[in-house]
Amino acid sequence: MVEEGAHILDIFSQFITNGIFKALFDNWSYHDLDSRLGAFLVPRFLETMTSDLLGHLGPSADRHSELLRMSQRLIAASRVPLEFHDAMTLREFVDCHVGHNLRWEAIGAMLSLAGIAMCDVRAPHPACATEDERQSMKKCLFYSSTLCAQFCESLETLNDVLVIFLYENFLLYSLHLGDQSFQTWRRLNDAINAMFAHGLHQKLDGDLHTPLFLIELRKHIFGRVYASDISFAVFLGRPPRVSQRYCIIHRPLDLKADAYEMTGEALEEELAHLDQHEWNTNIWARNRPGTVVDRLYLIRLFYLQAVFFIEWTASIHGNVDNDTLYIISSDLLSWVNEAMLRRERLSKLGLSSLAWRAVTCGLPAAATLAKYMIPGSPQPSRKWRDANAFAKVIQDLSVFIRHMNYLHEPGDANYEIFRQAKAVLQRVIATRLDPHTLLEERELQTCPTPIFPPDMLSIDQWVLRPEFW
């Protein structure tokens, strides 16, 4: 472990010296990083780590020996349980993880967030001159982050930053190996197990021995892990691991991350801006149009996705309403396309976030619409099959197909899913636009007996199932 740790520290210091971390994190709002879990800790971690590592690691011949000593120091520090008190400040919390107390989970969290940012950039970029260099750095960050996770697992010391690191490591696996990978699924399980073991599913409010910023951070941790578990369960058809029945779900206070540094009267004044429902009354007075657009877009997206799943679930249980399912699928796909067409206005939705929305929302909606276009399949009523509605569906599917090339390139994690989905959708559109299709459709309508097996065109056979793509 000591030798491997020295290798990771060497890589980490080179990323600092060459300005790679700075290039990735300086404009991180473009990569959707400043909205990620624990992102407010990154500037504070990076500042201290930079001075600490560069102060100990010079260009001397004993660099490797110094790296080995630092690796041993990190192993010893990471074994020490952390203790908190109600008067602890954010600065003191950060100091527990950096400087002389530098821990592997802090290093791992930085590597994971940098790896996520590297997945969003395209060469040439200040962090990488060529695409080959970007791919090499991405793999280096991925394997270094994985090794840090193995260190932390063997040291068996649980804390909040470790849970954050394991969650970000899961997201990095999702971007690197794809959402259907068993290893990605296992990494999510690691984050969930750590969250449960740390007690974040229990009551958090009212803890007199924990500072406010840490209570709010723990609420955010549980919310992100719980949401990811539900998203994976829906998208991959796997049972969720976090049951609401056995958890207390807290809504975090509507505070900006800057408020976590406040104490005393300044904090009381910030809390005074919250209404009786703990929402910030100053939200509309802030000059942040990009953030408002992001939130409004996601609210409607999640609403359309929820309605779509309700209608789809009803359809597989024999209570299908083809008109409603057709309409909501069309609206959902149009809204996904809208984000990709106007992505420059969605300041927080980076490339990886857009790709995930396209996978979880766009593909199921596109599959449902494509299903309705197959001759002989159940059809919505005639008023939804006029020329304008038909042209709109063809247009939306075509736009979605075009954006698949932008969202994923060969070598990206979910590229194979998009490639297969694109081929299927293109075949459906080509078949539907074929002049012979209309004649075949009329023959199907007059055929006294079905020419397909009864369950062949059942939506449950292929819509929303990843193996279909």
Banded model confidence at residue 461, pLDDT cuts 50, 70, 90: very low
d(CA 373, CA 432): 7
| Tens digit of each residue's pLDDT (9 = 90 or more) over 354-374 | 777 787 888 889 988 888 887
List, in order, residues 6 or more apart from 85 with CB less than 8 Å away. 209, 211
Task: Say yes or no: 100 and 188 in one domain.
Answer: yes
CB burial of 26-42 (b: ≥16 within 10 Å; e: otherwise) equals: eebeebbbbbbbbbbbb
Domain end: 204, 236, 252, which one? Answer: 252
Burial class of residue 272 in the structure, from the number of CB atoms within 10 Å of its CB (0-12 exposed, 13-18 middle, 19+ buried) = exposed
- 359 within some domain: yes
pLDDT recorded at residue 172 = 92
Task: Say yes or no: 364 and 245 in one domain.
Answer: no
- CA 389 to each of CA 27, 334, 385, 393: distance values in angstroms, whole numbers, following the listed order: 42, 12, 6, 6
pLDDT recorded at residue 447 = 46
What does the DSSP assignment read for 222-236?
HHHHHHHHHHHHHHH
Torsion sign across C-alpha atoms 141, 145, 148, 150: negative
What are the helix (H) ranges across 57-181? 63-78, 90-95, 104-120, 131-155, 160-177
Is 80 exceeded by the pLDDT of residue 295? no
- 257 within some domain: no
Banded model confidence at residue 457, pLDDT cuts 50, 70, 90: very low
pLDDT recorded at residue 454 = 40
* 91 and 261 Cβ atoms separated by less than 8 Å: yes
Is 90 exceeded by the pLDDT of residue 142? yes
* 422 and 394 Cβ atoms separated by less than 8 Å: no
What does the DSSP assignment read for 323-341?
HHHHHHHHHHHHHHHHHHH
Place of tokens 């939705």: 349
| Tens digit of each residue's pLDDT (9 = 90 or more) over 1-54 | 889 999 999 899 889 888 888 888 876 544 444 467 777 788 888 888 887 777
Task: Say yes or no: 36 and 132 in one domain.
Answer: yes
Residue 254 backbone class (left: φ over 0; alpha: ψ -120 to 50; beta: rest)? beta
- 186 within some domain: yes
Task: Say yes or no: 72 and 128 in one domain.
Answer: yes
Residue range 188-212: mean pLDDT, rounded: 88
Banded model confidence at residue 283, pLDDT cuts 50, 70, 90: very low
Structural domain count, the chain: 2
* 374 and 444 Cβ atoms separated by less than 8 Å: no
- 344 within some domain: yes
- 145 within some domain: yes
Three-state secondary-structure class, residue 155: helix
Task: Say yes or no: 247 and 362 in one domain.
Answer: no
| Tens digit of each residue's pLDDT (9 = 90 or more) over 105-114 | 999 999 999 9
Residue range 236-241: mean pLDDT, rounded: 84
Q: What DSSP designation does 156 have?
A: T
- 361 within some domain: yes
- 263 within some domain: no
Task: Say yes or no: 232 and 296 in one domain.
Answer: no
Three-state secondary-structure class, residue 125: strand
pLDDT recorded at residue 139 = 92
Burial class of residue 338 in the structure, from the number of CB atoms within 10 Å of its CB (0-12 exposed, 13-18 middle, 19+ buried) = middle
Burial class of residue 441 in the structure, from the number of CB atoms within 10 Å of its CB (0-12 exposed, 13-18 middle, 19+ buried) = middle
Task: Say yes or no: 381 and 438 in one domain.
Answer: yes
Task: Say yes or no: 59 and 164 in one domain.
Answer: yes
d(CA 229, CA 244): 11
- CA 181 to each of CA 123, 159, 207, 250, 336: distance values in angstroms, whole numbers, following the listed order: 26, 27, 39, 30, 24
Residue range 424-446: mean pLDDT, rounded: 67
pLDDT recorded at residue 195 = 94
What are the helix (H) ranges across 257-386? 264-271, 289-316, 322-341, 351-357, 363-373
Task: Give the pair of three-digit tokens for residue 77.
Answer: 């520090």
| Tens digit of each residue's pLDDT (9 = 90 or more) over 306-344 | 899 888 888 877 777 888 888 899 999 988 888 777 766
Task: Say yes or no: 342 and 387 in one domain.
Answer: yes
CA atoms within 13 A on the CB side of 108: 28
Residue range 408-423: mean pLDDT, rounded: 78
Task: Say yes or no: 23 and 116 in one domain.
Answer: yes
What does the DSSP assignment read for 46-61?
HHHHHHHHHHH--SST
Domain end: 208, 224, 252, which one? Answer: 252
d(CA 135, CA 123): 10
Residue range 229-236: mean pLDDT, rounded: 82
Task: Say yes or no: 212 and 345 in one domain.
Answer: no
Place of tokens 């809390």: 271
- 283 within some domain: no
User: In this predicted model, which residue has the larger pLDDT, 467 or 242?
Assistant: 242
Domain end: 236, 252, 268, which one? Answer: 252
- Determine the residue type at 31: H
Average pLDDT, the chain: 79
Task: Say yes or no: 79 and 162 in one domain.
Answer: yes
d(CA 26, CA 172): 20
| Tens digit of each residue's pLDDT (9 = 90 or more) over 81-107 | 988 888 888 888 888 888 888 899 999
Domain ranges, residue 101: 2-252
